[in-house]
C-alpha cells in the first residue's frame, strides 16, 4: 500500500488486492492462448499499418468509444497532484476494461453462462447470510480473514441510522466496505436468479428441487438486501421487479394468442406458474420484513434534506459543477485533494469523491472524457436493446441509475466488479 502525506486517505492511495492478482493471471493465460498461439503472419498483421482499419471495422462503436475514453483518461494523469496515484487509477481503468473484453470475447463463450449465474447467486446467498447475521447481532461477525469491516453502531464513520425511539441501527455490510456496495451486488445476484428461473426454458430448469432451494436462497438474498437499508437500490429493485413482471405477462399473452403447438402452450403456462411462485415468495418476504422491522422501515422511508447523506451529496455535486470546464479534468484521483484545497476546514471524513460517477468523470477526466464515457454507455444500450433481454437491459439501466447517487461503481474494487460485469452482460446479450 502506498499513500503520500502524513495520514491515510483511501481515495489518494494505492492498494493491491488478491483479486488483482487473479485478474492478472487470467489476462496472462488469455494472452498466451489468443496471441502467442497465433501464427507469425497474424502477428505481422497486428503490427502492420492495417491495425487501425482492423479496429475500426471489427470493433463495435461502443468499444471504440471505450478505447477513446481510456486514452483521454491517460492524458488526464498529467494533471494529477500525485502522479503515482494517477497512473495507478488509470491502470485500474485499463484492468477492468480488460476484464470487460476478456469476459465478452472469451470467458462467456468458453465457459458455461449458467454456471456463471450460479456462482453469482451462491456468492449473493453467502453475502446475504453474513448481512443477516450482522444486522441481528448489530455487530460484526469477526470474519476478518474474509475482509469484513470492524462494525458497531456506536462507531463513527459506520453506516447507521436512528429510529423513532432514538436507537441507533447498524446497516448490514456483508464482507464489503459499505452497505450500498453489498446492496448493489445482491441486486445483481437477485436478477441472476430471476434470469435463471424465468428466462431459461429447458426442462432441467423446471425441476422442483431447483425451485425449492432457489426460493430459500432468494429469500435470504432479499432479506440481505433489505438489511442494507440502501434506499436507492431497494427502490430500484422494486421498480425493475414490477417492470419485469409486466413485460413477462404482456409477452406471454401475446405469445399465447399465436400458439398452435401444445408444447409451446405448456411452456408458456410453466413460465406463468414460475412467475406466480416468484411473486408469492417476494410478497411473503416483503410482508415479514415490514411487519418485524416497521420502525426501521419507517425511519428510512423518510427522506429529509437535512440528513447528512443528502446534504453531502448536494455539496459534492455543487463543488464538482463549480469547478468549471476543463478539457482533461483536474486529474485522476484528484477530486478529494482538490476539495481539500477549495475547502480546507472541513471534517476529514467529508473529503470523499463526488457521489456521482458521471460528475466524477467530468471533474477528474474532463469534458472530453465525460462525453466519450456517455457515448460508450449510450451506444452500448442502444446497440443491445432487445425484448428478448429486456431484464438484462433493465439491470444495466438500474446500475447506471445507481451511479447518479454514489461513486463506488468506479472507485472501489467490489463496485468496479459489479459495474463491468453488468456492462459485459449487455454487450454479450446475443450469446445469452
> Which tens digits make up the pLDDT trace of 42-57?
444 444 444 445 445 5
Is residue 416 over pLDDT 80? yes
pTM above 0.95, yes or no: no
Are 271 and 357 within one domain?
no
Q: Where a domain ends, among 301, 327, 347?
A: 301
Q: Where a domain ends, among 272, 301, 330?
A: 301
Q: What is the pLDDT of residue 56?
A: 52
Task: Give the residue from 214, 230, 258 showing the smallest Cα distance to 118.
Answer: 214
Q: For residue 92, give its domain range.
A: 10-36+68-111+308-431
Q: What is the pLDDT of residue 1?
A: 59
Q: What is the pLDDT of residue 214?
A: 76
Residue 255 forms part of a structural domain? yes
**Whether the Cβ atoms of residue 149 and residue 134 lie closer than 8 Å to each other:** no
Residue whose cell numbers read 502477428: 43
C-alpha cell at 287: 410482508
Residue 42 forms part of a structural domain? no
* Mean pLDDT within 336-347: 86
Residue 379 forms part of a structural domain? yes
Strands 13-14 and 2-3: antiparallel
Is residue 203 over pLDDT 80? no
Rg (C-alpha) for the chain, rounded Å, is 23
Q: Measured between alpha carbons, how far is 325 from 317 in angstroms, rounded to an integer?
A: 14
Are 204 and 343 within one domain?
no
Are 357 and 400 within one domain?
yes
* Mean pLDDT within 86-115: 86
Are 248 and 393 within one domain?
no
Beta bridge partners of 14: 2
Are 177 and 288 within one domain?
yes
* Mean pLDDT within 425-431: 66
Are 121 and 213 within one domain?
yes
| Share of the chain residues as helix, strand and coil, in percent rounded to the nearest 5 | 75, 0, 25
* Mean pLDDT within 187-197: 88
Average pLDDT for the chain: 82
Are 244 and 315 within one domain?
no
Residue 62 forms part of a structural domain? no
Q: What is the pLDDT of residue 97?
A: 94
Number of domains in the chain: 2
Is residue 112 over pLDDT 90? no
Residue 381 forms part of a structural domain? yes
Q: Which residue has the higher pLDDT, 74 or 202?
A: 74
Q: Where a domain ends, among 256, 278, 301?
A: 301
Are 82 and 168 within one domain?
no
Q: What are phi and psi of 273, to 5 degrees?
A: -60, -45
Residue 340 forms part of a structural domain? yes
C-alpha cell at 8: 491515510
Q: What is the pLDDT of residue 57?
A: 53
Is residue 261 over pLDDT 70? no
Is residue 4 over pLDDT 70? no
Are 247 and 330 within one domain?
no
Q: Measured between alpha carbons, how far is 19 from 96 in angstroms, rounded to an integer?
A: 11
Are 147 and 284 within one domain?
yes
Of 201-205, 217-221, 279-283, 341-345, the poorest mean pLDDT is in: 201-205
Residue 53 forms part of a structural domain? no
Are 121 and 134 within one domain?
yes
* Mean pLDDT within 309-336: 87
Task: Give the residue from 343, 338, 314 showing the smallest Cα distance to 404.
Answer: 314
Residue 63 forms part of a structural domain? no
Q: Measured between alpha carbons, how far is 284 from 280 in angstroms, rounded to an integer?
A: 6
Are 120 and 253 within one domain?
yes
**Whether the Cβ atoms of residue 160 and residue 202 lie closer than 8 Å to each other:** no
327 alpha carbon, distance to own chain's centre = 28
Q: Which residue has the higher pLDDT, 212 or 258?
A: 212
Beta bridge partners of 168: 162
Amino acid at each position: 500500500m502506498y499513500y503520500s502525506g502524513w495520514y491515510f486517505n483511501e481515495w489518494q492511495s494505492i492498494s493491491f488486492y488478491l483479486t488483482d492478482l487473479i485478474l492478472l493471471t487470467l489476462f496472462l493465460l488469455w494472452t498466451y492462448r489468443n496471441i502467442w498461439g497465433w501464427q507469425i503472419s497474424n502477428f505481422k498483421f497486428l503490427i502492420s499499418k492495417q491495425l487501425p482499419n482492423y479496429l475500426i471495422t471489427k470493433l463495435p462503436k461502443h468499444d471504440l468509444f471505450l478505447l477513446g475514453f481510456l486514452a483521454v483518461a491517460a492524458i488526464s494523469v498529467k494533471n494529477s497532484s500525485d502522479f503515482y496515484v494517477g497512473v495507478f487509477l488509470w491502470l485500474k481503468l485499463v484492468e477492468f476494461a480488460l476484464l470487460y473484453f476478456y469476459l465478452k470475447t472469451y470467458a462467456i463463450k468458453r465457459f458455461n453462462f449458467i454456471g456463471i449465474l450460479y456462482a453469482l447467486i451462491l456468492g449473493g446467498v453467502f453475502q446475504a447470510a453474513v448481512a443477516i447475521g450482522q444486522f441481528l447481532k448489530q455487530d460484526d461477525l469477526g470474519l476478518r480473514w474474509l475482509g469484513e469491516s470492524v462494525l458497531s453502531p456506536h462507531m463513527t464513520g459506520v453506516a447507521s441510522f436512528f429510529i423513532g425511539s432514538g436507537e441507533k441501527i447498524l446497516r448490514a455490510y456483508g464482507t464489503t466496505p459499505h452497505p450500498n456496495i453489498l446492496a448493489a451486488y445482491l441486486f445483481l445476484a437477485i436478477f441472476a436468479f430471476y434470469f435463471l428461473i424465468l428466462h431459461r426454458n429447458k426442462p432441467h430448469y423446471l425441476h422442483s428441487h431447483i425451485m425449492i432451494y432457489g426460493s430459500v436462497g432468494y429469500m435470504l438474498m432479499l432479506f440481505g438486501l433489505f438489511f442494507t437499508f440502501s434506499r436507492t437500490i431497494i427502490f430500484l429493485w422494486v421498480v425493475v421487479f414490477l417492470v419485469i413482471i409486466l413485460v413477462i405477462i404482456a409477452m406471454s399473452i401475446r405469445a399465447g394468442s399465436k400458439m398452435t403447438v401444445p408444447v409451446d402452450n405448456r411452456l408458456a403456462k410453466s413460465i406463468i406458474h414460475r412467475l406466480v411462485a416468484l411473486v408469492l415468495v417476494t410478497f411473503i418476504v416483503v410482508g415479514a420484513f415490514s411487519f418485524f422491522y416497521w420502525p426501521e422501515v419507517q425511519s428510512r422511508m423518510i427522506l429529509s434534506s437535512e440528513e447528512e447523506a443528502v446534504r453531502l451529496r448536494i455539496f459534492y455535486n455543487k463543488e464538482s459543477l463549480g469547478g468549471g470546464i476543463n478539457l482533461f479534468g483536474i486529474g485522476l484521483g484528484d477530486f478529494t485533494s482538490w476539495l481539500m484545497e477549495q475547502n480546507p476546514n472541513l471534517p476529514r471524513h467529508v473529503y470523499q469523491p463526488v457521489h456521482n460517477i458521471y460528475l466524477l468523470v467530468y471533474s477528474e477526466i474532463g469534458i472530453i472524457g465525460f462525453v466519450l464515457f456517455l457515448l460508450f454507455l449510450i451506444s452500448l444500450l442502444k446497440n443491445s436493446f432487445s425484448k428478448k433481454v429486456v431484464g438484462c437491459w433493465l439491470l444495466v439501466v438500474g446500475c447506471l441509475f445507481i451511479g447518479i447517487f454514489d461513486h463506488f461503481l468506479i472507485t472501489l474494487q467490489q463496485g468496479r466488479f459489479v459495474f463491468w460485469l453488468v456492462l459485459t452482460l449487455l454487450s454479450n446479450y446475443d450469446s445469452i
